Structure 1
Amino acid sequence: MAVWIQAQQLQGDALHQMQSLYGQHFPIEVRHYLSQWIEGQLWDAIDLENPQEELKAKRLLDSLIQELQKKAEHQVGEDGFLLKIKLGHYASQLKSTYDRCPLELVRCIKHILYTEQRLVREATNSSSPVGSLMDSMSQKYHQINQAFEELRVLTQDTENDLRKLQHNQEYFIIQYQESLRIQAQLSSLATLPPADRQLREPSLLSKRATVEAWLTREANTLQKYRLGLAEKHQKTLALLRKQQTVILDDELIQWKRRQQLAGNGGPPEGGLDILQSWCEKLAETIWQNRQQIRRAEHLRQQLPIPGPIEELLTELNSTITDIISTLVTSTFIIEKQPPQVLKTQTKFAATVRLLVGGKLNVHMNPPQVKATIISEQQAKALLKNENTRKRKVIQD
């Protein structure tokens, strides 16, 4: 049975997860009307990490657009007319979004198909003894990786929206400068003879009215774009914080516990390289979103429009800074602990590691780190101090 037919039978949270896969980046209507064609393509045959595969991806994009256009042309009747317009719009939208980056379309559809197959499989196996025996560790890692993929898609979506906002704002500024030029021409008419002024003034007044009406409409549109982008960033940051909590408060704490047990004769703790890869992915995604928020703030400063966007951007900046601060302070760990029992006059080795150092380019300006062994009482006092101290904001 086709995956799409099974996906439409999902219920509850599984149905909600399936629906959340779609949006402006890939409308659910395209998935519905081209389901057979989409599932018949060899998406997995394209290596997303190989730029030379872009030509194959471009062919698939062109074929997808052609299939949409054909589907639109075959619509008849009153309802068919509306669907024809909608599918034609989606064809133009997908071409505009992915024409310069066709590999992103392949990545997007592979993610959609993979997630749908997983949701259908989980729904099918939920009452099966085999499904209930799924390894919990593999399932947990799978959920973390899925969340990273969702964050990647969300971040790419906001990047596309930001570029569109920037393009529209640049055009707005050009038109605003045109309105100033018209106003200057109107002002200069005072120096002309009355006959010349009467000849030119009506045309300039008409042009000024047209441009000012357009500027008013476009200012409202730009404000909506800004608010929409800020809301998407809020969603991304909420997922980022949730993912960071899972990795730092669950996985990293468990690793530290295994490290303690290993120091007392237990099995090796293991898993640090996986943790580092997750932390680096977090750092990379957080940094990308921070840069996007800063660019959005720059656009707002470049063209101030009254509204709630200033407060929203301030809140987003505060949130992303707090997330970065937590990540950096929580990922500085003791990789190799000293022996649990120390004898006097005995040398030992200990190693510290910053799990996000690679992504923050710490090696370009390596800091000096001093580690000191303290007593249990000193450790408790330090912890109490840390809990009551206000976290210092990370500066650039």
Structure 2
Amino acid sequence: MRTDIKMAQWEELLRLNLLQGQLSNLYETKFPRHIRHCLCFFIEGQDWDSIAVDENKARACFKNLLMHLEHRSVQESNILQGPDFPGMSDYLVKHFQDKPLHLAMILSECLQEERKVLALASQKQDCGISAVEEKWKVLDNRVHDLQRQTLEIKKETKSLEVLYENYDYIEKSWQSKAEQCVGLAHATVRERCLQQASFIIQTKQMVLVDIWKILQQADQIVAVLTDVEVPEWKRRQQMACIGGPVDTSLDHLQKWFTAVAEVLIQVRQLLQKLEDQNKKYNSHDASSPPADTETFALSLLTKLLENALVVEKQPIMSSIPQRPLILKTGVRFTATVRFLANLPEFKCLLKVKPVFDKGVEETMIMNCFRQFDFNRDNSKVMDVDSPNEGLVAEFAHMSLKENKARTKGSSEIHLGVIEELHFIKFLTRFRYAGVNCDIEACSLPVVVISSTAQIPAAWASVMWYNLLSTSEPRNLLLFVDPPPLTWQQLSQVLSWQFLSVGQRELDENQLLMLREKIVDNPDGLVHWSKFKNDSTWIWIDGILDLIKRHLADFWRDGYIMGFVSRKTTQVLLQEKQSGTFLLRFSESIKDGAITFSWVEHTNGESRVHAVEPYTKRDLLALSLPDIIYLYSMREQGNRTRNPLCYLYPDIQRDAAFGRYYSAEKLAPKKDVTGYIDRKLVPFSVYPTPPSSPPQNMEVDWDNCAENDQLFQDLFSDLLDLPGSPLILMSPPPTQVNLPGHSSPFCGSADVGHMI
């Protein structure tokens, strides 16, 4: 049982990407991380704290550790390229056989530091969550209290109806029996009738006072919901749209809106019931419901419902699901709206109609922006969404066409396509129980493009806007004079991009390199004009696409250092043992490429080599782990060897990438055709430096890729339809000669081959 609990410690460190900083230094200097990883079951199953103070326990545990390694080595000897257990055993014998107590002390310290790092991360996470949860708990209690009071008022109103009936019976019957009642009896009956009437008036006054208190409490809650909670949710949604790891669930808001709407409807029904009682029993006294109480209740309900319509899912094209708010003319996109007051009587009551750029006709925008219309009527009736029990309308087949018939007027505003901001409004009319109001919800600003080549630049606009603009109405002219971003703002959103495609954010060292490439002024500000025109963002976007297509697992596991300069690479590697390598992104290939650099020590001299970067086309032919496993250097006499042994800082190569090797490509093929077997193998003849990379990367879009992407955009949605006869045919893969290549740090040029 203890082993299972402890094992979660290492898994949690990997899951939360916490093997950086302090822990990275710990395992780099005191104990190999790949041994910690491969022997996590055994290591976490021992009480190293007590072993570290007992020499006999330490020797016995060290012996058991070697036996465990030997057993694992025999057990997994047939597994293709499994962990190097004999090598681990040799390392432990060499360093700790004569001092097992020292090993126990190291492992005790390592496990303690791991627990500290996990506790700190959990504390930070809990602090952020607890504050929000505490606020929501308070609001929950207030709403529940409102519901409880309303239930009590309903009971009092029902008892008031019984009092009215009793009084009416007595009043009508006592006169018919008046002749039978003489003297004291007659006076007694009359007095009882007057007491009953007085009690009814007092009870009704108490009910009206309680109703007014409920409305005052409801007023405060409605203000919190409409002026605080909904805007905060919309802000969280903005951050989520650009990759932020935030919660955008509407469960709490829907619960509160529904409960408060139900309370206000019930209060209005109670007021009407009191008015009906007055008419029925001809009771027009000072206890009649005042008109301002009904007006107050109606205004609160109207305010709540006018803010109940939200855009749950912002406009998004299925071809780029991680980049909402970018729309391409003629290509299908989707959006979803939700009505937060989810009462049964509202089902199928609301018909929602989307309109494009409604309300901006009178502004300067119409004179300088392109204008668009929907290709069809997209009106939807809001119905109950069964899985989430929400009142929703999903617009699944919207598309835009440019309205070129309208001519643009003269304007001093000159913005590019990616700087034009538009929006979609969702309109509906609410008519129920005397409530008459027009309701609308507005999408976040969208960028409308005409070419897939514009997606990276359009996404830059989307990120920039949503980091800066938090208020309504939407500032569609933001890019006329766009405010700058601080590096803290920009670095956060850049880090989110890597989290969204590879489940790992950028660390401080990676951000430092990007800062040096992006920020070039002392105030630390990044201006839009530089960011949109600089090729750095295009380069980063190419790397994001590279990770998404080919490297997501290795980026998540922390095996790709990625953003590290050539100079820093040389500094990091030259003190490491021969065969230590690291993975970094090419700085010269704008479309995204990855390379590996490794160190060799010969005759007291350290040399760092780097292979020519592998592009998306290369990785499509052979995965990165297979490239690393098969890579070889051809030396004099046609002798070949793989120079890649340890992933920086000291992880045995196969321990890091072994589970990703392709067994089909690495295992020998059966000779069933009479042909001689062959393999696709990357190798270099000898290491040399590459030619100098270009100083400025120019954006040169591939027309073929553009046409293929356009075809996918136009017809990929048809593939989702059942029984669709359309099949998208891709061209057969081209035989690619993967480069094995060059070194920017030492002296000659590689020739890459595939055999």
Q: TM-score with structure 2 length normalisation?
A: 0.29
SS at match of 2:285: coil
The answer to whether residue 173 in structure 2 is matched with residue 178 in structure 1 is: yes
Shift of 1:227: 0.7
In structure 1, which of residues 326, 337, 343 is the aligned counterpart of residue 314 of structure 2?
A: 337
In structure 2, which of residues 332, 343, 352 is the aligned counterpart of residue 369 of structure 1?
A: 352
In structure 2, which of residues 294, 297, 314 is the aligned counterpart of residue 320 of structure 1?
A: 297
- Checking the alignment, whether the CA contact within 8 Å between 2:150 and 2:267 is kept in structure 1 is yes
Matches of 1:219 and 1:380, distance apart in 2? 64
Shift of 1:333: 1.3
In structure 1, which of residues 145, 164, 172 is the aligned counterpart of residue 159 of structure 2?
A: 164
1:173 counterpart letter in structure 2: D
SS at match of 2:354: coil
From the superposition, tell whether residues 282 and 209 of structure 1 become closer, same or farther in structure 2 (CA, over 3 Å): same
Shift of 1:228: 0.7
Matches of 2:129 and 2:248, distance apart in 1? 22
The answer to whether residue 343 in structure 2 is matched with residue 359 in structure 1 is: yes
Shift of 1:393: 9.0
1:144 counterpart letter in structure 2: L
- Checking the alignment, whether the CA contact within 8 Å between 1:251 and 1:275 is kept in structure 2 is yes
Bigger Rg, structure 1 or 2: 2
SS at match of 1:260: helix
Matches of 1:307 and 1:285, distance apart in 2? 27
SS at match of 2:353: coil
The answer to whether residue 331 in structure 2 is matched with residue 346 in structure 1 is: yes
The answer to whether residue 141 in structure 2 is matched with residue 146 in structure 1 is: yes
Shift of 1:146: 1.2
Partner of 1:224: 202
1:342 counterpart letter in structure 2: L
Shift of 1:277: 1.5
SS at match of 1:377: coil
Partner of 2:479: none
Once the two structures are superposed, residues 187-228 of structure 1 have per-residue CA deviations (whole angstroms, 9 ceiling, x without a partner) of: xxxxxxxxxxxxx6xx45765543332222222221111111
2:328 counterpart letter in structure 1: K
Partner of 2:249: 271
Once the two structures are superposed, residues 7-47 of structure 1 have per-residue CA deviations (whole angstroms, 9 ceiling, x without a partner) of: xxxxxxxxxxxxxxxxxxxxxxxxxxxxxxxxxxxxxxxxx
Shift of 1:350: 1.1
1:286 counterpart letter in structure 2: L
Shift of 1:133: 9.5
Partner of 1:236: 214
Shift of 1:177: 0.8
SS at match of 1:370: strand
From the superposition, tell whether residues 174 and 220 of structure 1 become closer, same or farther in structure 2 (CA, over 3 Å): same
Give 1 or 2: higher strand fraction.
2
SS at match of 1:305: coil
Matches of 1:269 and 1:142, distance apart in 2? 16
What is the correspondence of 1:193-212 to structure 2 with a 5 Å cutoff? 203=181, 207-212=185-190
- Checking the alignment, whether the CA contact within 8 Å between 2:274 and 2:288 is kept in structure 1 is no
Shift of 1:254: 0.8
- Checking the alignment, whether the CA contact within 8 Å between 1:264 and 1:340 is kept in structure 2 is no
Matches of 2:362 and 2:307, distance apart in 1? 16
In structure 2, which of residues 131, 138, 142 is the aligned counterpart of residue 136 of structure 1?
A: 131
Partner of 1:253: 231
Greater mean deviation of Cα atoms: 149-158 or 226-235: 149-158
- Checking the alignment, whether the CA contact within 8 Å between 2:147 and 2:259 is kept in structure 1 is no
From the superposition, tell whether residues 225 and 380 of structure 1 become closer, same or farther in structure 2 (CA, over 3 Å): farther
Matches of 2:362 and 2:189, distance apart in 1? 67
Matches of 2:213 and 2:297, distance apart in 1? 12
- Checking the alignment, whether the CA contact within 8 Å between 2:278 and 2:284 is kept in structure 1 is no
Matches of 1:359 and 1:134, distance apart in 2? 30
Matches of 2:294 and 2:432, distance apart in 1? 11
1:139 counterpart letter in structure 2: E
From the superposition, tell whether residues 136 and 225 of structure 1 become closer, same or farther in structure 2 (CA, over 3 Å): same
- Checking the alignment, whether the CA contact within 8 Å between 2:208 and 2:289 is kept in structure 1 is no
Structure 1 residue ranges, 4+ long, deviating more than 6 angstroms after superposition: none
Once the two structures are superposed, residues 158-211 of structure 1 have per-residue CA deviations (whole angstroms, 9 ceiling, x without a partner) of: 12322222221111001111134246xx5xxxxxxxxxxxxx6xx457655433
Q: Which structure 2 residue ranges, 5 or more long, are not aligned? A: 1-126, 316-323, 365-429, 436-755
Matches of 1:379 and 1:252, distance apart in 2? 28
Matches of 2:225 and 2:128, distance apart in 1? 24
SS at match of 2:133: helix
Matches of 1:329 and 1:311, distance apart in 2? 26
Q: TM-score with structure 1 length normalisation?
A: 0.53
Matches of 1:349 and 1:361, distance apart in 2? 27
- Checking the alignment, whether the CA contact within 8 Å between 2:240 and 2:248 is kept in structure 1 is no
Partner of 1:395: 434
Matches of 1:225 and 1:141, distance apart in 2? 35
From the superposition, tell whether residues 228 and 380 of structure 1 become closer, same or farther in structure 2 (CA, over 3 Å): farther
- Checking the alignment, whether the CA contact within 8 Å between 2:150 and 2:214 is kept in structure 1 is yes
CA RMSD of aligned residues (A): 3.0
SS at match of 1:307: coil
Shift of 1:235: 0.6
Matches of 1:311 and 1:375, distance apart in 2? 42
Shift of 1:311: 4.7
- Checking the alignment, whether the CA contact within 8 Å between 2:274 and 2:289 is kept in structure 1 is no
2:277 counterpart letter in structure 1: L
Shift of 1:341: 3.5
From the superposition, tell whether residues 371 and 394 of structure 1 become closer, same or farther in structure 2 (CA, over 3 Å): farther
Matches of 2:130 and 2:354, distance apart in 1? 39
Give 1 or 2: higher helix fraction.
1
Matches of 1:172 and 1:379, distance apart in 2? 64
From the superposition, tell whether residues 380 and 211 of structure 1 become closer, same or farther in structure 2 (CA, over 3 Å): farther
Partner of 2:150: 155
Percent identical among aligned pairs is 22
1:260 counterpart letter in structure 2: Q
The answer to whether residue 285 in structure 2 is matched with residue 307 in structure 1 is: yes
SS at match of 1:342: strand
Matches of 1:134 and 1:371, distance apart in 2? 36
Q: Which structure 1 residue ranges, 5 or more long, are not aligned? A: 1-131, 187-199, 382-390
Matches of 1:350 and 1:133, distance apart in 2? 30
2:302 counterpart letter in structure 1: S
Paired residues in the alignment total 236
1:353 counterpart letter in structure 2: R
2:220 counterpart letter in structure 1: K
1:332 counterpart letter in structure 2: L
1:370 counterpart letter in structure 2: K
- Checking the alignment, whether the CA contact within 8 Å between 2:146 and 2:217 is kept in structure 1 is yes
- Checking the alignment, whether the CA contact within 8 Å between 1:321 and 1:393 is kept in structure 2 is no
Shift of 1:234: 0.6
Once the two structures are superposed, residues 117-167 of structure 1 have per-residue CA deviations (whole angstroms, 9 ceiling, x without a partner) of: xxxxxxxxxxxxxxx999321210110111122213312321232222222
From the superposition, tell whether residues 291 and 255 of structure 1 become closer, same or farther in structure 2 (CA, over 3 Å): same
- Checking the alignment, whether the CA contact within 8 Å between 1:233 and 1:289 is kept in structure 2 is yes
Once the two structures are superposed, residues 354-385 of structure 1 have per-residue CA deviations (whole angstroms, 9 ceiling, x without a partner) of: 111x314222x44322111216735989xxxx
User: Comparing both chains, which one has the higher relative contact order based on Cα–Cα distances under 8 Å and sequence gaps of 6 or more?
Assistant: 1
